Structure formats: C-alpha cells, structure tokens
Chain A
Amino acid sequence: MRAQNRTIKGVDWFTVLLYLFMVGFGWVNIYAVNTDPDTLVFFDYSKEYTKQIVWIGVSFVTIGVIMLTDSKFFVEFSYVFYAITTFLLILVIFIGVEINAAKAWFQIGGMRFQPVELAKVATALAVARVMCRFQFSFYNISDILRLGTLIFLPILIIIIQNDTGSGIVLLALFIAFFREGLSPYVFVFGFVAIAVFILTMIIPNHSIILILSVAFILMVLFNRFRKEALIMTAISVVFFGVGAAIFKTAGGGVNYDVALLIAMAASSIFLAIKALLRRLPKLGVLLIFFWGTVAFTYSTDYVFEEMLGEYQRNRILVMLGLKDDPLGVGYNVNQSKIAIGSGGLLGKGFLQGTQTKFNFVPEQSTDFIFCTVGEEWGFLGTSIVVLLFVILLLRLIFLAERQHSDFSRIYGYGVASIFFFHVAVNIGMTIGLAPVIGIPLPFFSYGGSSLWGFTILLFIFLKLDTNRTQLLR
C-alpha cells in the first residue's frame, strides 16, 4: 500500500461531512452575532467572522498535514507531544496574557492561542499509548499511577492558570476508561462524593450524616444481613436517645452531629466485631465506605466554610445553582434562556436576532453561540444541532469499535469523551441545565485555537481510522 493511497483512501467521509457542515453553520452564526442589520456592511475585516475564516483555513491546511502523516507517527510521538504541550501549559503561566482572569493565552501579533486546546489532544494520545500496552490493567497500582499522573498533571497546571473549566474537561476521559474496563463503582463513588459535596453546602451536617446512616443500614440490609441491620438500628436509636438525653441534662441544646456520630460509632463497633468473628469482608468494605463519606462530609464542610473566602463560596454556590445571582452569572443564563426561548419553532431568521447582539447575552460568539442558533433558527435549528452532535458521537463510537488496534480505539473514545463533555456542558449551560463553565462548543464557538484544537483532535482519529485494519503499537 503506497503512502498517497492511504492519505485519502478509507477516510470516513460521513464524519468529514458532519465536520464541514458544523464548521460552516458555526461560522454563519458568528457572522450573525457580529452583524448589525442597521449598518449593513457585508464584510468587515476587523470582525470576528473574518478572523474565524482565517482559522478555518489554517484548520484545513492542518487536516492536510495530518492526512499526509504516517499513523505510526502519532503513536510514536504521543509522549513527546504530551511533554511539549505540558511545557507550553507551564510557559503560558509566565509569558501568557490574562483574559477573563485566566492566564491561559499566548498572544502572537493579533492572534491568540490557548495551549490547553492542544493539551486535550496530547493527553488523549498519551492516555491511549499507556493503556494500549499489552499488560495494562486497572488493578495494577503502577498503571493507575501512570494514568492518573497523565490526566491530573495537566489539570493541576490548568487550574493554576485559573482556567478550571478547561481543566475539568480532561476528566471526561474517564468515559473512555469505563469502556476499557474501569469498574462502574468508581463512578458510583464519584457520584456519591459529588452529591455529598453539594449537600454539605445546602443542608446542615447532621442531616447528611442521618441520610448516610440510613443508607448505610439499608445497604447492610440489602446485602442479606437482615438480623444485623435490625440490631444496628436498635443500638443506634438507643445510643442516640442516651446521647441526646445527656446533652439535655447538661443544660445546653442537643448537638445532633455528635449524638448521631456516637450512635453510629456504637453500631459500627457491633458490626465490626461481627465482621471479624464471622469473616465477612463485605461488611468491612461497607464500614470503610460509610466512615469515609462521613470524613469527606466534614472535610468538605471545613474547606468550604473555613478555607474559602466569601467570594469563592458565592461563586461555587452560584455555579451550582444554589444561590440566585440575577446580575452576575445568573443574569447570563437568564439572558441566554430568553434568547433561545424567543426563537420559537422556526426562529427569527438569519441576522434577525435581537437578543444575541450587543451585549444582551454575554460572550455571544464564544461560550454562548448556541443562543444565536436558538434565536435565529428556532427549535428546528437547535434540535438539528443537538442531533448532529449525537450522531457525531455515536459515529465516533462506531468507528472506535471497528479499530483493530487498541491504541486507535482508546484514542477514539478519548475524542468522543472530550467532544461529549464540551457539548453537554456548553449547551447545558445555555439552557440552564449545567453550571456555567466557560468552555466552547466544538466547531461553533468563535475562537481560533479551539476550532484548530478540535479539528486536530478529530482528524488524528480519522487518520488512525484509515489504518483501522493494522495493528498500531
């Protein structure tokens, strides 16, 4: 097979067409945001849509370069690529320019470039490289450490840049890990941790402990330890009653936290003895899980109340939708919903939107570009865009599954995971279903480096896909 042949042959044209359509439609919306129907100038060289055209051109050239590169190159150089982007991530902290409080941009002439876009590609490649090794296992400590470092090192650096939103994106790679055999309990545990984290902010600690205690006893019950569960309940109630009574007689008010903890400690001791005597490791795991979450509750509470400032606390509360902020972040979401809602079924038509121009909606061309789609193209437009993204994601899964080499498959899932996270959070945020995290909508949002980064991310996979029947290592 000759090199030129491989360049185009076997490319998944379906995905390429999806890509072209999205980039084109994205540009149309950026054009709409930047055009005032009052002063109709058809083309203005200083506008965002002109710059975006330049970046689209750059992306097309890059696609050519990727297609001409040997697939093996991406496997071989994945670590080098990772090292270079990590270096760039650190470098930008020192020589980058600050935009929206995040020091995450290189400025070269009039163009700005965000190295985090390349870091996503590099991390996905490096992760695929680590995991495609023959002996890789999620139950091997050194493998887990290696994989964890690959993911959390860039996240840490990006958080130092104060661009937390972009950092969180890399956590999406856990979806790829799930496909490769990561235990679903990791996700259950993660979900519980997030739930507890949010709960600590909205309800008092003793209520959380109560919920956890009930859940604990129920878990004991459903693991077919009916008798133990009943005895535990009895011990807990008695000790709680005694504890509360002591507090009452001591004169002060009842400290429910402490009373509950005493009650649960008593029943836990009972359970621990039972587990040791009857050799029941399952009960031990449950015990560790319960006290782990209790400890997590208190540490979260401590960090939140004692270590964070008022401003940071509010910011988190607003982001989680636990606090109204009609003039800050909440205002953005409200404006965004109004813009999308005003589109109706068919939208107001191209360039006819009023809500998404001139600062009604902030960041209209970048993070909130979906509002323009909603306002000018209506439900028809938005549902088609959502559908196209879902189709793209499913197509990527399909392509990933048909790879013969593990590297290509894992990378394919990495690409799908990153795209999914961006789409879910970005669109979710504009319609009030996700917290406001400023990350772009792939192919739609204005911004050269994000378009370029997403293009590279996608087309490296499409290139690998042309060699799907070969074993790349």
Chain B
Amino acid sequence: MGNSNRAIIIGLFFGMIGLIFIIRLFVLQIVDPSYKFSAESNTQRKITEFPTRGLIYDRNGKLLVSNQPVYDLMIVPREVVPFDTVDFCNALNITRSELDRLFEEVRFNLQRRRISSFRPSVFYKQLPAEQYAILQEKLYKFKGFFVQRRTVRKYEYPNAAHVLGYVAEVGETLLQSDPYYSLGDYTGISGIERTYETFLRGQKGARYVMVDVHGREMGSLRGGRMDTSAVAGSDVALTLDIELQAYGEKIMQNKIGSIVAIEPSTGEILALVSSPSYDPSLLVGRQRSRNFPILSSDTLSPLLNRAIMSGYPPGSTFKVLMALVGLQENVLSPTTRYPCHQGYTARGIHVRCRPHASPISLVPSIAVSCNTFYCHVFRNVLDNPIHGSPQEGLEQFRNYLLNFGLGTRLGSDFFNENRGFVPTRGYYDRIYNGRWGSLTVLSLGIGQGEILTTPIQMANMTAAIANRGHYFTPHVIKEIENDTIPSRFKVPHHTGIDSVHFGPVIDGMEESVWSDVGATARIARIPGISISGKTGTAQNPHGENHSIFVAFAPKDDPKIAIAVYVENAGYGSTYAAPIASLMVEKYLNRAIHSSRGWIETRMMNANFINESTE
C-alpha cells in the first residue's frame, strides 16, 4: 500500500465520518418529529414526583403521623403574560400587596440567578386542598402558572413533638452536601424525622411532560422513557406508647421538666416527655412560618428537648449507684453500719442529714436517704489503698459511672443528646491546683456538686439496676419497613457490677417506697404493684430545687424503668415520686386506682411555671 494511497484512505475516512454526522443531523433535525417542538408552541417540563414520607406508628400499632396533600403553585417566569390580578388574588385568597411582594421575590431571585425564567420554581407554597379547588378552575387564565402536588405531615395526636421532630425545607448546608436534595425539598430537621430521614423520605421521581403555551400537559415526553416514579418512604414503628406519652404530657402540664420511661429488658423508650411541649401540627404547612418564631422565642423554650438535653445534679438518686460501686469495690457490705447523728462531720466539713435511727445499714440507708452513710462509702471508695491515691480512686469511680452511661452520650436515636458531666481527675487538679482529697469532693458522693446527668441517662441507669447489671441503649425505633433497626440497639452493655450486689440495693429502693419507718417515697405506693425507687433533689442555685424520682416496677420482672424531673418543685418525694408512680400505674394497669385519684388531680393541677418565671 503506497503512502499517498494512505493519505487518500485517511481523507476518505474523515469525509465518511463527516457524512455520517450530517446524515444523523438531518435525521435528528428534520426527519424525526419527536424532537421537534419550538419554544413558542411547546416546551418540556420536568415535574418532580414527591414521594410520600413513611408513616409513623406507636408500639401498639396506633398511627401517629401520616401525610396530607398540599399544593405548591409553580411559576415559569418567562411564560407569564399579563393577567387579571384581582381574579388571581381571589383565587389564592391573598391581598394585592402580598401578590406584589411575591412577584418582587421572583424578580429578586431571577436577578440573583437563584431561579431560572425558563424553569418552574415555587411561587406560592403549600396551598391547602380547599383553596386549590378554587384556584384549579381559574388556572387556565394564568399562563406560566401550574400546580404541583406534594404532601406534608399530618399529626394524629398533639403529643410527642420532641420525639417525632419536624420536617421543613432543606437548609443551605444539606443542600450543598447531599446531592439528593434540591431547593425547596423537605427533610427531617429534628427527632425521628431527622434520624431516620433516609428511610422515611423515600425516593423522588420525575416525570417529563410536554406542555403547551397555556401550561397544559400535552403528554409525556419521548414516551415516558425518561420518567422515574417516586417510591414512598418506609413506614416506621416507634417504641413509644402514645397513651402513656399523652398521659405524661398531660400530667406535666404547667410544669417544667421531663419524664423518660424505658422498658428495661429491651431499652425501648415507652415515653419521653419534655415539658413544656407543643402540638407538632403547629409546625406544618403555611402556619409553620408564623408559629416557629413564637415557639423559638418563648422564654420557657418549648422546642428544647429537656429529657435528653438538660443536665442536672442527680441528687440523692445517685446514692443507689454509690452503694453499688461500694459493694463492687469491696469497701461496703450489706451488713456494714455507720452511725449518723443528723450529719457527717470531718475536718471542719459538715454534711447535714435528716433524723433517723442510728447506726444505719445499707438497705435502710437507701430507704431514708442517709447522707452520712454515703459520705463514708464515697470516701472509702476514693481512699481505698489499692488505688494508691484518692485521685486514682476518683478515676476508678468515674469508670463505673461511665459504664452506667453517665457522662457520655448513650447513642440513642436522638442526634443531639447531651453527654452530661462526670468530673475527671484533671478537672479537679485544675480547680484545686492538684491538692485535693476525697473530702474536697465529698458532695459527689451524695450526687451534688459538679456532676450533671440528663433524665434519659438516669432512666437508663434505673433500667440497668432493674436488669441487675446491664442495659440496652435506649431507643425509640421499633421497626423499619423492609429494613432492620440499627444493630447497636440489640447489644447489651454491662455495667461492671456483679449481679449479686443488686439485691440489697434493690431492696433498699423497695423499702424507700414501702418501709414503715422513714420511707421517703411512700406517696409512690401503688396497690398491687411492687414499685421500687429512689427520691432525689437537685440543688438549684437559681431558685427552688428540682424534684427527681427514679423507679422501676414490678420489682421481680421489671417492665418499666422511669426517671421523672420536675423543675422548681422541691423535694423528690413531693412531686416527682407521685408523678412517676402514676406513670407506672398507667402503663402497667392502664388505669389509675380510685384510691389514688386525689394524687392524680393534685399533680395535674400543680403549676410551677409562674414561680419559675418570677
């Protein structure tokens, strides 16, 4: 083959490719009609098919959250022609000035290149179904407008707002980081809606249609080959018992505080109340923009989930943990007795105690909540010679608390858990310049001082005691349609305390409710239910102390472990204990015994909000 022949071959090859291209272009541009629609007569439009979010049920299969349709009025700015504004305003039920503002917004966004004049963007959000019915008949008069259906949340109960969280438009950050979302999409912002967003949201679809000048759909584009249909989100079931939840919210009305109830054998959260709360329906649809600022600027912070976010000193409820550590560390035995004469005194430090029989042993020390006893136990733990120094002793002590889930995020399905605070050796070294001993930090032993725990942590600690040594990470997710719940909720965590040590401590908790002498929580007695618990009072330097009670029941086969916090309500025995007992009774018996009706009434009517705001 001569080289000049090869030049001809190459030339022919180039020419042939050019010819193929021209033939192909001829077919595309002139022969094939399916590509032929001009800007004046037809345009294509991508209609996003929004999936319905997954439904949410409670543990008994009661529907908590469903969906309702709303209609977004969309605009394609380039296609809009002058129209009858009065008619338009009537159809939308808005004023002329509102309309002007909406158009000003469109113009602004066009200039900023946020939206395109060729592509649809939202003009008026979330028109209710009734208004849509009115608008629909007139829509043909308004060129460049069309309606896109989507769904928003519908809440069947006015409860559990903090657990459920809410859904709103995606923010700038998520929009940048996750390509799934586009401007105007909805996403779970808090609670379950956020944690299980990927399951609940489903999969968006898209429909490509051709529309004429009037915005009427003229059929699908290219035979619908590019269309994808939306896939509805997965339904989920929660571990909440909505009746218990609603009861808890009702009983906590006019109070600030929290209730967390857990099923000890599984870690399932039965109720999670943070008061004050709000009706989740307030944050749905067009009223959201009005209600959200009201809620977020409320001085009582109804949006704050106190059950997982607020840290309080655990107060005397901490003594049960102190006893367990003492037993495990072998510095305490069930028969150890300490004298107590209304207080503990050592080297100029005095911790007061209430009058009770002396000397006192472990079980009654819990029942009457003796401070002296636990000052001894605490010092023995820290000063135990095997640790070498009280500083090392504190680290050892701290490890026990961490094993109980204190001072750390439990890893529940709430993303914004507070970790609380368990002081470290370094923390005290900084404060006391390295010179401190067990006496310096004595208040830790009775649950006061620097230590902070959240209500969910205390409920979890109680569940671990009820289980005699282990707990499951508290969680609210029970089932996810076509999927499994995260495996971390199935793994038991061991506290490092031998199960034999729980016997006397649980006896003490039982005595604190049922003992004939000095029981601190006698008001928590429920006929026929062996409830065991411990009162506590969190010191509050800003006002009246907070009332705390932790409990579980029944004693031998625990079905519920609970922590109740009532802010500014004083001693644990006065409010937290009766509220906890009502919750336990409600859960186990589904009704309140007639003999306790007066307690229920008194708790419902108690009001601590005015006092706290003064």
Contact = CB atoms under 8 A, between A and B. Distances in A.
Interface in A354-398: 354, 357-360, 374, 378-379, 382-383, 386-387, 389-390, 393-394, 397
B505 to A, nearest CB: 54
A431 B35 contact: no
B346 interface: no
Interface stretch (B12-20, B254-262, B326-334): B12-20
Contacts of B17: 420, 424
Given A340-B25, A400-B7, 11 more contacts: A181-B6, A326-B228, A334-B222, A341-B34, A341-B35, A342-B39, A343-B29, A358-B117, A393-B11, A397-B11, A416-B14
| Band of interface residues on A | 35 or more
Interface stretch (A227-235, A254-262, A344-352, A462-470): A344-352
A345 B4 contact: no
B206 interface: yes
Interface string B219-247: 00010011010000000000000000000
Interface string B1-35: 10110110111001101101110111011101011
A48 interface: no
Contacts, number: 122
B497 to A, nearest CB: 47
A340 B35 contact: yes
B118 A180 contact: no
Interface string B49-61: 0000000000000
A433 to B, nearest CB: 6
Given A36-B117, A178-B10, A344-B36, A354 B21 contact: no
Contact of A354 (B39, B225, B226, B228): B39
A378 B111 CA distance: 30
B18 A386 contact: yes
Interface in B61-119: 77-78, 110-111, 116-119
A352 B78 CA distance: 13
A386 B119 CA distance: 31
B38 interface: yes
Contacts of A301: none
Contacts of B228: 326-327
B137 to A, nearest CB: 30
A389 B18 contact: yes
Given A338-B35, A340-B29, A433 B11 contact: no
A387 B18 contact: yes
B427 interface: no
Contact of A341 (B11, B36, B116): B36
When A and B form their complex, which 9 residue pairs have the shortest distance between CB atoms, in order from nearest?
Answer: A341-B35, A390-B18, A358-B116, A354-B39, A379-B29, A326-B226, A393-B14, A341-B28, A382-B25
A152 to B, nearest CB: 22
B545 interface: no
A345 B27 CA distance: 11
B612 interface: no
B39 to A, nearest CB: 4
Nearest to B42: A342
A175 interface: yes
Nearest to A343: B29
Contacts of A340: 25, 28-29, 35
B403 interface: no
B37 interface: yes
Contact of A38 (B15, B43, B78, B225): B78
B44 interface: yes
A357 B39 CA distance: 12
A143 interface: no
A296 interface: no
B29 A374 contact: yes
Contacts of B44: 338
Nearest to A427: B21
A433 B20 contact: yes
A425 to B, nearest CB: 10
A72 interface: no
Contacts of A433: 20-21, 24
Interface in A148-196: 175, 178-181, 184
B209 to A, nearest CB: 13
13 contacts: A181-B3, A326-B226, A337-B35, A338-B35, A340-B29, A348-B38, A357-B116, A357-B118, A360-B119, A383-B26, A386-B21, A387-B22, A401-B4
A334 B226 contact: yes
Contacts of B206: 327
Contacts of B43: 354
Contacts of A179: 3, 6-7, 10
A100 interface: no
